[in-house]
Amino acid sequence: MPEWLVLTLAMLAACAVVVIITLVRHRRAAEDEDPSETPDVIEYMTMWIGVVYAIVLGLAIAGVWEGRSAAQDNVRAEAVALHEVSERVRVYPAEIRDLIRDDVNAYVGHVVTTEWRTMADRDRVTDEGTELLDRLRRDVTDYEPRDDFEAQAYQPLVDQVAAADQARSARAESTGATMPGVVWFGLVAGAVITIGMIFALQIRRTRRELILAGLFSALIAFLLFLIWDFDAPYSRGLAATADPFLRLFPEVRS
């Protein structure tokens, strides 16, 4: 099911729940009940519950957005490190240079096709990608420089391979959902309590109040969906992309 459809259904469901419960309460309310006589303490508590929950939502959104940005930075760092390996190796003999560049291209091609789908579907990296990176590391480190010029390029090449490996490890650690289950429990429970306080204030007097209550519930549903969408950096709507690899290695498109 498309994510935009999930979002639409969630917002409509939130509005429908508020409208249905409000109408049911309105029909069952006593004829002499005055909705304007809501105790001040309830209004005060409702205000602070809304403020606290808004802060929690803001922190959750900031956290998952930071995780998504960090995931994209990991991809960029990995692509740049591999590009540096491919460029710096030009000082090596032709057979070694071509071997290392073939290793880089094979690894990048695997990442942007097979491994990226695996991260989206199974929340993990592939063993084949690990093997391809290990082969690149062996070909870089096993070569013995023949002169000082090659020796000066050797250590930077090893460092760039290590940087690519570190970025890959960070990418592997951020493939799945980052929000703990207890946090989701708090977010959902907070949404229920916050919306429930609407009924404590007896929102059923005018159509305008009913519309505002429905819009408020839809907004909370949208923010929760936004957190869920950002929670898995590589597998949902606004996910990190493989564009850094494709920009630095345009040949892998073919």
Please, what's the b/e burial string for 8-31 (b: 16 or more CB within 10 A of its CB; e: otherwise)? eebbeebbeebeebbeeeeeeeee
Band the pLDDT of 40: cuts 50, 70, 90.
low
Mean pLDDT, residues 191-197 taken together:
83
Q: What is the pLDDT of residues 72-107, one digit of tens each?
A: 999 999 999 999 999 999 989 999 999 999 999 999
pLDDT of residue 106: 94
Q: What's the whole-number mean pLDDT along residues 200-214?
A: 69
Cα(49)–Cα(56) distance, integer angstroms: 11
Token pair of 28 as six digits = 């069952």
Residues 10/228, Cβ–Cβ less than 8 Å: no
pTM: 0.77
Kindly tell me if the per-residue pLDDT of 198 is higher than 90.
no
In the predicted model, what is the mean pLDDT of residues 227-253? Answer: 82
Give me the mean pLDDT over the 156-179 stretch. 90
Distance of CA 116 to the CA centre of its chain: 14
By C-alpha distance, which of 84, 91, 99, 120 is closest to 244?
84
What's the whole-number average pLDDT of the chain? 83
Residue 15: predicted pLDDT:
74
Residue 47 is predicted with a pLDDT of 80
Task: Name the range with the highest mean pLDDT among 5-19, 145-159, 211-225.
Answer: 145-159
Residue 128, exposed/middle/buried by CB under 10 A (0-12, 13-18, 19+)?
Answer: middle
Rounded Cα distance between 204 and 221, Å, is 21
pLDDT of residue 167: 94
Q: How confident is the model at residue 149 (pLDDT cuts 50, 70, 90)?
A: confident
Spatial distance between the Cα atoms of 234 and 171, rounded to a whole number of angstroms:
9
Average pLDDT over residues 222-236: 84
User: How far apart (Å, rounded) are the C-alpha atoms in residues 63 and 252?
Assistant: 33
> 60, 187 in Cβ contact below 8 A?
yes
Average pLDDT over residues 171-193: 86
Cα–Cα distances (Å) from 27 to 21, 32, 48, in that order, read: 10, 13, 29
pLDDT at 97: 92
